[in-house]
């Protein structure tokens, strides 16, 4: 085995110490391998929630092929009821330039069921009061965001879930789409 190369200076020769460097490289490789194993095992995978009660669902989409974009907001109560709060879309084909999104009448309210179908997947079944049913499949990338197949589009349809209590207490200005009057 050869000795490490010597570096000389005007005063004394210096020897490179390779052992600490090799230990550092070894430690980095080991930690990288450990992280890879844990990540592939699903330890750091997105976790679908067990329940969406008390959550606000929002999604949006953009489709170049259809020249259309849109969004929706659904409130999921703790009593298994949902309020379909907002449905809006914009089309460059059917709307005047600069007219913005068109707010459409939401399809209605009703009962919902949610099932966690996998580590990062869930299904929401909407049973509208007027008798129609609709199912949405969710693929979670975090515990509160992901993609849905609700009206699929070329760019996917991202969604987010937030706490209803936080949204209800947030100040709002100039919101006139839909409201609820409570006694008192």
Q: What is the 3-state secondary structure (H, E, C) of 17-74?
A: CCHHHHHHHHHHHHHHHHHHHHHHCCCCCCCCCCCCCCEEEEEEEEECCCCEEEEEEE
pLDDT of residue 100: 62
pLDDT of residue 145: 95
* Domain extents in the chain: 55-169
| Beta-bridge partners for 133 | 127
pLDDT of residue 38: 41
Contacts of 85-93 spanning 24+ positions with Cβ under 8 A: 85/177, 85/178, 86/177, 86/178, 91/66, 91/67, 92/67, 92/68, 93/67, 93/68
Quickly list DSSP for 139-159. EESSSSEEEE-SS--TT--EE
pLDDT tens track, the chain, 184 positions? 555 455 444 554 444 444 444 444 454 444 444 444 344 444 455 799 999 999 999 998 777 766 777 888 999 999 999 999 988 887 776 655 556 667 778 889 999 999 999 999 999 999 999 999 999 999 999 999 999 987 655 556 899 999 988 877 766 655 555 555 566 6
Residues sharing a CB contact under 8 Å with residue 65, sequence separation 6 or more, in sequence order = 154
pLDDT of residue 165: 84
């Amino acid at each position: 085995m050869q000795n490490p190369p010597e570096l000389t200076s005007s005063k004394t020769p210096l020897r490179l110490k390779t052992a600490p460097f090799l230990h550092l490289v070894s430690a980095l490789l080991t930690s990288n391998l450990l992280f890879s194993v844990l990540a592939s095992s699903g330890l750091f995978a997105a976790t679908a929630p067990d329940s969406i009660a008390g959550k606000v669902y929002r999604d949006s989409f953009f489709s170049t092929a259809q020249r259309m974009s849109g969004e929706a907001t659904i409130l999921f109560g703790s009593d298994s009821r949902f309020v379909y709060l907002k449905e809006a879309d914009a089309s460059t084909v059917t709307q005047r330039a600069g007219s913005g999104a068109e707010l459409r009448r939401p399809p209605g309210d009703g009962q919902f069921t949610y099932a966690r179908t996998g580590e990062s997947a869930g299904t929401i079944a909407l049973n509208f009061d007027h008798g129609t049913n609709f199912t949405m499949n969710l693929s979670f990338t975090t515990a509160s965001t992901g993609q849905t197949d609700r009206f699929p589009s070329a760019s996917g349809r991202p969604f987010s879930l937030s706490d209803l209590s936080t949204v209800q207490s947030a100040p709002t200005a100039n919101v006139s789409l839909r409201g609820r009057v409570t006694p008192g």
